Structure 1
Amino acid sequence: MSEKKYTTTSGIEIKALYTEARPMEELPGEFPFTRGIQKDMYRGRLWTMRQYAGFSTAEESNKRYHYLLAQGTTGLSVAFDLPTQIGYDSDHEMADGEVGKVGVAIDSLKDIEILFDGIELKDITTSMTINATASILLAMYIALAKKQGADLKQISGTIQNDILKEYAARGTYIYPPKQSMRLITDIFEFCSKEVPKWNTISISGYHIREAGSTAVQELAFTLANGKTYLKAALDKGLDINVFAKRLSFFFNCHNNFFEEIAKFRAARRMWAKITKDLGATDEKAQMLRFHTQTGGSTLTAQQPLNNVIRVSNQAMAAVLGGTQSLHTNGYDEALSLPTESAAKIALRTQQIIAFESGVTDTVDPLAGSFFVESLTDEVEAAAWAYIDRIDVMGGSVNAIESNYMQNEIADAAYQYQKEIENGERISVGVNKFTQEEDGLTEVFNIDDSIRKLQTEKLEALKATRDRDDVEKALQRLREAAKGEENLMPLIIDAVEKYATLGEIADVFRGTFGVY
């Protein structure tokens, strides 16, 4: 009988015993940052504890934000509904059935004003998970900061703004790739001068992983996309030592504890090399800073309280891997948006790791482990092999347009599902240790009446704003979109005149076309 082969989720073979590893020469806070981007890591400052939240109307989401801030969350993370993500106002026929469902409905600056009512933007950092319409939501956030009297040079936060992974894995794109890349580099350029502490992109492996990729594919495709953004900004004449400091990353943390830690350590080392090779000499421009979210697709509707343990395991791996920011999923998220009690236990998970586990007391707790060091090298080598193939194709845009990334992800997802179904891979409560379900009694539902409320708000807005001002602002934006002018100042002007998200997206649809 052949001996059982042990592998990670990426197919890297795991030996029974590790007795040596490459000697560790580098120190934390020094190139290539394998051991962390800060010399003292969590001794100096804990990661930002975020809870991703947003649902229904701006009024309802605002209540959840105040609740989370009262529970000790240290940064807000905004989820937008699908119509907002793909540039439709709540009263558009394409929005029917989706308003406020998977995030908050934002139609205009009015909604942003309500969303952050009672919250000073200068006092918090805000992460916004938004891509195709990122320029518009950022413009609304900047407009509100100005109204609050905040110094734009000091406000900080992140927009996801990663359109390449939308084409590869997630699907909420609007315009063709080249025009989308223009909007992204316009944001880079504008923020580097006007909002210098803002992270202008969060290059995301998270959704690539949620779509079914392996850990190695998540790492490789994310860094390949990052390399494409660097090159696009360089082509626009931007200084890599300036704009690369404001790029951040967003990774998934799945179930395979040691593979995930190795992935994060390898990611820092690889990004340091990529940025250096493209001309970055400032260490801060070579550092990979990242947010982590625990793996939504690992959560099960069966025996949902098991997800508390899964999330704890994943959160611990993210911390041991050196994350700068962390969101922990609610145990009920395979069934609904998280209830308040699920969001609270998710936050408490982070707080217990931070203040009770002892893992934050030393900088790189797993450094020198023969297994972790060897696995970091193997994950890195496997990821470089993918990046080299993408480079030969001419970069990420070409790899996406030829469906290479999409096909690789689909194959990995199929393989994973097959292993669950034939029992090769165990999912507790799903294909082993199953039971008759009682299920959760409390789930969080969003009523379809939200669309009616948002439509009434839109009607009131359009009745009170200056229609001529709006038309002039949209026309100026339309003309500029045909040329090469930076569009951000004009988008800010339009949102300040209370042009809606859908109206601005329609200007770009008319000029750029739809992909």
Structure 2
Amino acid sequence: MSKAEREKAFYDAADLEALGFDAGQDLGEPGAFPFTRGIQPTMYRGRLWTMRQYAGMGDAEESNRRYRYLLANGTSGLSVAFDLPTQIGYDSDDPMALGEVGRVGVAIDSVEDMERLFAGIALDHVSTSMTINATASILLAMYVTAARRSGAETKKLAGTVQNDVLKEYIARGTYIYPIPQAMRLVTDVIGWAAETVPEWNPISISGYHMREAGATAAQEIAFTLANGMTYVQAAIDAGLEVDRFAPRLSFFFNAHNDFLEEISKFRAARRLWARVMRDRFGAKSPRSWMLRFHSQTAGSTLTAQQPENNIVRTAIQALAAVLGGTQSLHTNGYDEALALPTEEAARIALRTQQILAHESGVAATADPLGGSYAIEARTSGLEQEAEAYFARIEAQGGMLRAIERGWVQGEIQAAAYAYQQAVDAGEAVVVGVNRYARESEPEVPIQRIDEALERGQVERVRALRARRDAGRWTAAIAAIKVRAHEGGNLMPAITEAVEALATVGEIAGALREVFGEYRESVTV
């Protein structure tokens, strides 16, 4: 949908007719195929969305304090941010980790760190999301092992591991292994989780990071669902039955600034996925057709200038996610353009969700904007744009080939460049930045990570290596390499290594020896 079409003075029945909109086929009822109006008949009247605040800083103890603070203030789900060394498979004492330990999330080197991270929190009574991809298999094994050690019942563990490595090659960059081997780890987690932690979502197929990199709403839908189709096909090719794993697939979308477009985006994505799963993959269970998603307000829209304005941006974005039917929501802290959020900023972000839930009245009606000419026209328009992208992806040879050639990345880069040109020209207004700016900005208190935390984490991982059972560790690492060479699901071997106190870096390193590392090579 072009900018002119989005900015129409008004919409009417003619717009829907031009798009071929059929209320019976395209709209339906909440909780019924194609789920345009939401995946549950009563939506938030039956259960509010999960208020899941993303947090992780310094070491496990520091992050545990923030989780307890959030739980005490009414958050209903935890969401773990890991530091960069953990994300790309390096231990805190590795030279590659110097200066990055605990900086953008919590440092986790071993299962003992995972136990400290959740100390005093009943893991079978709380839902936990972990934003981790290349090392997702290792961190999930550590989480399950820590939960088991704490006495939690494994079958009752609920949560999500992101485990979406394709978007790392597209937009984020925290990949390790070549694409085929990375895809093997993804499907290994999906298969293992179905048996070991059946209430767990083994993947969160993420458009968020592509939108942060500059993708349009239509691109976010198209590239996210195309990645999802790639994962589904890979799991089927690995011998998994679609209705066995598909109900546990989850998605992660950005809640951006254009209020009506974002509401429509979520609705279009649901409708498209329902049709893809039923018609393309032959899923029989209605639960396999449902697109369940977490959303996060748009970090890329936060400004360091006049940061208090970000509270308003976040509230608008959060309302769009709720009206769009999200199952889970994270609201950003107003100071996140400057640093990790302070406790005050995290509390305001959480209160934003609570005010929407309990004071705004929007939770009382499922899909209250359904049937609006503007919403339905935009929903159908975005659906058609996404379908056009699907055709272009197929012409590239499929999503994996399109990523390897850099085509997807190029599409996003072109959209990001066009938007930045509009900002620079003043055509796109950013309040407080290119319009209504102030001559000077008052200092804002920010969260700072104590440098001593890195030294303490380094000492901790070195002490662990000195006291663990060397024989058991050696055998466990060797078993990972054998399984990586010979085939079969890697998760049991990874879990055994975790129990033998192998570290994230050691397990990732063993897989590096066998799989090698990915080197980007764009051949457009």
Aligned to 1:239: 241
Which of 411, 426, 433 is residue 429 of structure 2 equivalent to? 426
Aligned to 1:253: 255
CA contact under 8 A between 1:78 and 1:126: conserved in structure 2? yes
TM-superposed CA distance for 1:147, in Å, is: 0.9
CA contact under 8 A between 1:12 and 1:378: conserved in structure 2? no
TM-superposed CA distance for 1:23, in Å, is: 4.6
Distance 1:447 1:406 in 2: 36
1:33-432 pair list within 5 angstroms: 33-276=35-278, 277-432=280-435
Distance 1:438 1:14 in 2: 33
Distance 2:397 2:282 in 1: 19
Letter in 1 for 2:350: L
Once structures 1 and 2 are overlaid, which stretch shifts more, 274-283 or 320-329?
A: 274-283
Letter in 2 for 1:362: T
Letter in 1 for 2:23: M
1:342-388 deviation line (CA, Å, top 9, x unaligned):
00000000000000000111111101101100110001100110111
Letter in 2 for 1:351: Q
TM-superposed CA distance for 1:445, in Å, is: 1.5
CA contact under 8 A between 2:6 and 2:378: conserved in structure 1? no
3-state SS of the aligned residue for 1:208? helix
1:109-138 deviation line (CA, Å, top 9, x unaligned):
010010000001100000000000000000
Distance 2:276 2:61 in 1: 43
Distance 2:127 2:440 in 1: 40
Distance 2:82 2:302 in 1: 21
Aligned to 2:23: 24
Aligned to 1:473: 476
Letter in 2 for 1:138: L
Aligned to 1:14: 7
RMSD across aligned positions (CA): 1.1
| Structure 2 residue 504 is the aligned partner of structure 1 residue 511 | no
Letter in 1 for 2:259: F
CA contact under 8 A between 1:99 and 1:448: conserved in structure 2? no
1:80-109 deviation line (CA, Å, top 9, x unaligned):
000000000000000011100000000000
The alignment of Structure 1 onto Structure 2 pairs a total of residues equal to 508
Once structures 1 and 2 are overlaid, which stretch shifts more, 445-454 or 249-258?
A: 445-454
Letter in 2 for 1:392: A
Distance 1:51 1:291 in 2: 11
Distance 2:2 2:225 in 1: 23
TM-superposed CA distance for 1:194, in Å, is: 1.5
3-state SS of the aligned residue for 1:383? helix
TM-superposed CA distance for 1:150, in Å, is: 2.0
Distance 1:12 1:89 in 2: 50
1:2-37 deviation line (CA, Å, top 9, x unaligned):
xxxx954xx754321212133522111011100000
CA contact under 8 A between 1:304 and 1:440: conserved in structure 2? no
CA contact under 8 A between 1:125 and 1:155: conserved in structure 2? yes
1:245-294 deviation line (CA, Å, top 9, x unaligned):
11100000110000000000000000001111211110001100000000
1:61-93 deviation line (CA, Å, top 9, x unaligned):
000000000000000000000000000000000
| Structure 2 residue 451 is the aligned partner of structure 1 residue 452 | no
CA contact under 8 A between 2:85 and 2:91: conserved in structure 1? yes
Change (3 A) 1:512 1:375: same
| Structure 2 residue 445 is the aligned partner of structure 1 residue 442 | yes
Once structures 1 and 2 are overlaid, which stretch shifts more, 86-95 or 446-455?
A: 446-455
Distance 2:329 2:80 in 1: 14
TM-superposed CA distance for 1:153, in Å, is: 1.6
Aligned to 2:495: 492
3-state SS of the aligned residue for 2:23? coil
TM-superposed CA distance for 1:299, in Å, is: 0.4
Distance 1:486 1:51 in 2: 32
3-state SS of the aligned residue for 2:346? helix
TM-superposed CA distance for 1:441, in Å, is: 3.0
Distance 1:107 1:422 in 2: 47
Distance 2:440 2:353 in 1: 29
Distance 1:54 1:75 in 2: 14
Distance 1:238 1:415 in 2: 42
Percentage of matched positions with identical amino acids: 59
TM-superposed CA distance for 1:396, in Å, is: 1.3
Letter in 2 for 1:90: S
Aligned to 1:3: none
Unmatched 5+ residue regions in structure 2?
519-524
CA contact under 8 A between 1:275 and 1:285: conserved in structure 2? yes
TM-superposed CA distance for 1:154, in Å, is: 1.4
1:448-483 deviation line (CA, Å, top 9, x unaligned):
332211111012111211111101100011101001
Distance 1:439 1:385 in 2: 47
1:26-49 deviation line (CA, Å, top 9, x unaligned):
111011100000000000000000
Distance 1:334 1:194 in 2: 39
Distance 2:258 2:442 in 1: 26
